[in-house]
Amino acid sequence: MQRFLKWFKMEINLRGHHLICLHFFRGRGYDENFTKNLSNLLNNIRNKEITITNSADDVCKKCTYLKGKECKYDYNSEKEIREMDKKAIKLLNIKEKTIKWKRIREKLPKVFNEWLAYCKTCDWKGDCKENSKWTKLTSSLK
């Protein structure tokens, strides 16, 4: 019960590109802690108010590549991620500091085609392609 109450009251912080990319999570990640964190977030996100952040968020906090508040996956990662974050916020037309997950999910089909440009070089693309939401959205583009 205490664990449930913790998640019930918990604020969720997400950066821009996670507002889109988390919809395609397939249960895989860098390591067990990272994957478990993502699963917990997604299991509890549905009716939550999400606070949008412009730096490391609740997904990043369990990532092995997070050093301080920056992604060190490779040399240019943090810069590229910040650009993706800005693009995601712009595509989703988010002006508020907080938003419900349901509203993001409703906007996703309208922005997906343009977002695909970022997917071309993404290391997670193979996992996303196995997700039924991805399949549905890509088939609607044909």
Question: Which run of H or of E encompasses 122?
Answer: none
Residue 142 lies in a domain: no
Q: With CA atoms as reference, report the closest residue to 101 among 55, 54, 42.
A: 42
Tell me phi and psi for residue 68, to 5 degrees. 70, -120
Q: Choose from 14-18, 46-50, 123-127 the range with maximum mean pLDDT.
A: 14-18
Question: Is 61 inside any structural domain?
Answer: yes
| pLDDT band at residue 37 under the 50/70/90 scheme | very high
**CA 2 – CA 129 distance, rounded (Å):** 36
Is 120 domain-assigned?
Answer: yes
| 141: in domain | no
Domain extent at residue 105: 2-126
Q: What size, in residues, is the chain?
A: 142
Q: Is residue 72 part of a domain?
A: yes
Q: What is the mean pLDDT of the chain?
A: 89
> Count of domains in the chain?
1
Q: For residue 8, tell me if it sits in a domain.
A: yes
Give residue for tokens 């397939």: 26
In this structure, is residue 51 part of a structural domain? yes
pLDDT digits (tens, 9 = 90+) for 51-70: 999 999 999 999 999 999 89
Name the band, by pLDDT with cuts 50, 70 and 90, for residue 142.
low
Spatial separation of the C-alpha atoms in residues 51 and 96, rounded to whole Å: 9
